[in-house]
Amino acid sequence: GFPQSNADDIFQDKDGYIWFATQNGAARFDGFNYFIVDKYKGLRSNNVVDINQDSKGNFWFSTKGGLTKYTGNSCINFTVEDGLSSNIVRNTFELPDGRILINTNFGTDIYENNKIRSFNLKDIPELFIKRKNGEIWCISVTNVYKLADDTLQNVNYSKLEGNLYCITEDSDSALWVSSDRGIYKIKDNEFIHLTDKNGLSDNKIKNLLIDSENNLWYASEQTGCGKYFNGKFYNLTIERSEEHT
Long-range pairs of 237-242 with CB within 8 A, sequence gap ≥ 24? 237/201, 242/201
184-219 pLDDT, tens digit each: 999 998 999 999 999 998 899 988 888 888 999 888
Whole-angstrom distance, CA of residue 92 vs CA of residue 103: 6
Whole-angstrom distance, CA of residue 123 vs CA of residue 139: 9
Q: Within a 13 Å sphere around the CA of 44, how many CA atoms are in the beta-carbon half?
A: 23
50-99 pLDDT, tens digit each: 999 999 999 999 999 999 999 999 999 999 999 999 999 999 999 999 99
Mean pLDDT of the chain: 90
Whole-angstrom distance, CA of residue 69 vs CA of residue 12: 17
- Output phi, psi for 154, to 5 deg: -60, 135
